[in-house]
Structure 1
Amino acid sequence: MQEIKDRAASLAGLALERDAIFLYDALAKIEKDPARRSAFERIATSERRHAAIWEAKLLSLGEQVPASKRPSWRVRQIALLARLFGTRAVSDMVKALEGYEEGVYGAHGDVPEVTDIAADEAKHAEIWRELDTGKSNGAHRAALAETKAREPWHRAGNSGTLRAIIFGVSDGLVSNAALVMGIAGAVTASGQGSFVVLAGVAGLLAGAFSMAAGEYVSMRSQTELLERQIELERAELEAMPEEEEAEIAAIYRARGFPDDEAKAIAKRLMGDPKIALETLVREELGLDPEELGSPWGAALGSFFSFAIGALVPLLPFILLAGTDALFASIGLTALALFGVGAAVSLLTGKSAIYTGLRQLAIGAAAAAITYAVGSLIGVNV
């Protein structure tokens, strides 16, 4: 019985590690930032070591090592999104994948090979957290600054962008599907199309503008708060340069640098006030002063993502009429709900089928309830 369990754990572990090798190799090829590319290459090397452990385990059990298969759907989608939007945009998705691996290994904690591998996977998640907050070792910091100056487009992506788009589409889809179905259930077939289109367009515009306004105000307030924190740090740097230099040295000592080397790094950084401020902001506040977010960008992104989602249940009523439009809307909305749910799995690390069906059930319940309420009201035009 234990041998069967070990075999299952080894096969599952090997599949996870092969997926991870594919993903980190792809991220390393895409990434232009030397510090980030080096981190991805280190993780890929670690994943290859893990895969070799599982292969050896299978051989020790008398099993044949299976041939490499096509990477999983989730990993392929993350790699594709990284190619389109950059590695920063898929940060949350990769961290969710790391968390999923930790969970799988945790379920096989009685397998001797698991302990060290699980510890490494936890370290991978920590590397990602450091990359997200801009924390890199001293040797890479100059290269990072040079790359940012030369290739500013790498600052455009951040881990929250795709998340906001996915949830914006989801909000628009569910809310307008419920509205459209409610109106469709309330009016007679003869007048259904025009009223549904009118209500659907109104719901699309009202929801999109509301989302955009809310995102703008939220992002603007957050940006102003962060800018204030940065200005306070700038004032401290100008008023107390010796104390701030000591703080930088302390940061590098805490990272394992010898005292003399930490002081030398701090003095070198203090030679350029801009770099010194950036270092303090990153290390003390966990912020990137060049990536505070754009209120207008957030507003426009929310507007268009909500509008795209809201258009899906409405489109059949614009192109078709009567029951054809209703059934087409139901079918198209169901497919879109499942697709959005599957996309959410890239962020959560859950099964794409599970999250797709969950999203479909939630949207279907909302639409069914509003359709039933509309039918009970029975407005006859």
Structure 2
Amino acid sequence: MATDSPRVPEIEHDHPDVTGGWLRPAVFGAMDGLVSNLALIAGVAGGTRDQSGSTAVVLAGLAGLAAGAFSMAAGEYTSVASQSEAAEREIHKERAEILANPEGETRELAAMYAAKGIDPDLAMEVSRQIHRDVENAVNVHAREELGVDPGDLASPMLAAVSSFVAFAVGALIPVMPYLLGGSSLLPGLAVTLLALFVCGAVVTQVTSRSWWYGGLRQMLLGGIAAALTYGFGALVGVGLG
């Protein structure tokens, strides 16, 4: 009697996008907005603690939000655009090499596959089949040699918008209690540290760290930055008073 062949288990896991053009600028934008604006208003609050400094704190916080968001967006756009343009230049060079020396590039790709443990004859056959189509060969060479996918280069505009929005949202949190009528740094400090903990915990969903470690790390770093800037502001305020 025939026996059933063993059932091959299905692949049931998905990988998050950790190389896309939005994740890194969004994460850094939010963290930077939270920490930098908390530190900024802490410095102003420290320098005006013996005066009615709420107006100065709000003005500094909103100015820091606008300046930081536009700066982050411009920086991310330039950075990602330059990176994509550099990758496109190398891809263009690879395409020219494949057109000028197809046999040499075929052997080069076969050698790379053989170095990964594929039988040399099979590696050569696979390479020859890949090189039947120039664009396919360019894509494969780009991934193997440059580590980039020509069809999935990061978008400068997506990076800029993600960074702008994330920074603005993060920077608004520390100053929000003042906008709602508060006159003390403590409410803004509390909600910002909580937001930093949440952001740090969320980021660990795409890392190997535990949620509580990521949250506490971000909260501690933000608290230290605020404390140091508050002390600096207090010293400067005394010196200018």
> Could you state the TM-score of these two structures normalised by the residue count of structure 2?
0.82
User: What displacement does 1:26 show?
Assistant: 4.3
Amino acid at match of 2:44: I
1:369–1:282 Cα change, 3 Å: closer
Q: Which has the higher contact order (CA 8 A, sep 6+)?
A: 2
The Cα of 1:292 is off from its aligned counterpart by 2.1
Structure 1 gap ranges (5+): 1-23, 28-86, 92-157
Distance 1:270 1:188 in 2: 70
Q: 1:332 aligns with which of 177, 181, 191?
A: 191
TM-score computed with the length of structure 1 as normaliser = 0.54
**1:164: which partner in 2?**
25
Tell me by how many angstroms 1:231 deviates: 0.9
Q: Give the direction of change, closer, same or farther, for the CA distance of 1:374–1:258 in structure 2 (3 Å limit).
A: closer
**1:159–1:227: structure 2 CA closer, same or farther, 3 Å change rule?**
closer
Q: CA separation in 2, counterparts of 1:169 and 1:177?
A: 12
Structure 1 residue 259, shift from structure 2 partner: 4.2
**1:310 corresponds to:** 171
Deviation at 1:196, TM superposition (A): 1.6
Structure richer in helix, relative to its length = 1
Who is 2:37 aligned against?
176
Deviations 1:111-132 (A, max 9, x none): xxxxxxxxxxxxxxxxxxxxxx
State whether residues 338 and 360 of structure 1, in contact with CA within 8 Å, keep that contact through their aligned partners in structure 2: yes
Structure 2 residue corresponding to 1:237, chosen from 76, 85, 98? 98
Deviation at 1:287, TM superposition (A): 1.6
**Alignment match of 1:319 (pick from 180, 202, 205):** 180
Could you tell me which residue of structure 1 aligns to residue 54 of structure 2?
Answer: 193
How far apart are 1:250 and its partner, in Å?
2.7
Q: Secondary structure at the match of 1:332?
A: helix
C-alpha distance in 2 between matches for 1:197 and 1:273: 59
> Do the aligned partners of 1:193 and 1:322 also contact (CA within 8 Å) in 2?
yes
Distance of 1:226 and 1:196 partners within structure 2? 44
- 2:212 pairs with 1:345: no
Contact 2:69 2:168 in 1 (8 A): yes
Percent identity of equivalent pairs:
46
CA distance in 2, matches of 1:276, 1:224: 20
Q: Distance in 2 between matches of 1:251 and 1:380?
A: 66
Aligned length: 230
How far off is 1:340 after superposition? 2.4
Supply the distance in 2 between the matched residues of 1:293 and 1:308 (Cα, whole angstroms): 23
| 2:47 counterpart letter in structure 1 | A
Letter in 1 for 2:200: G
Conserved in 2, the CA contact under 8 Å of 1:88 and 1:159? no
What is the DSSP-based 3-state SS (H/G/I as helix, E as strand, rest coil) of the residue aligned with 2:53?
Answer: helix
Alignment match, 1:204: 65
Equivalent residue, structure 2, for 1:155: none
Which of 212, 219, 222 is the matching residue for 1:360? 219
Change (3 A) 1:373 1:252: closer
Give me the whole-angstrom Cα distance separating, in 2, the residues matched to 1:167 and 1:181.
Answer: 21
| Displacement after TM superposition at 1:289 (Å) | 0.9
SS of the residue 1:25 aligns to? coil
Look up the SS of the partner of 1:293 in the other structure: coil
Contact 2:111 2:123 in 1 (8 A): yes
- In structure 2, the residue matched to 1:150 is none
The C-alpha deviation readout for 1:171-225, integer Å capped at 9, x for no partner, is: 1111100111222233368743322221111101111122222222222222221
Distance 2:197 2:140 in 1: 43
Q: Does 1:298 align with 2:159?
A: yes
> Could you give the per-residue CA deviations for residues 219-271 of structure 1, whole angstroms, max 9, x where no partner exists?
22222211111111111111111212222333333344444433332232222
Partner of 1:83: none
Deviation for aligned residue 1:279: 1.2
Superposed, 1:115-194 pairs within 5 Å as 158=19, 161-187=22-48, 191-194=52-55
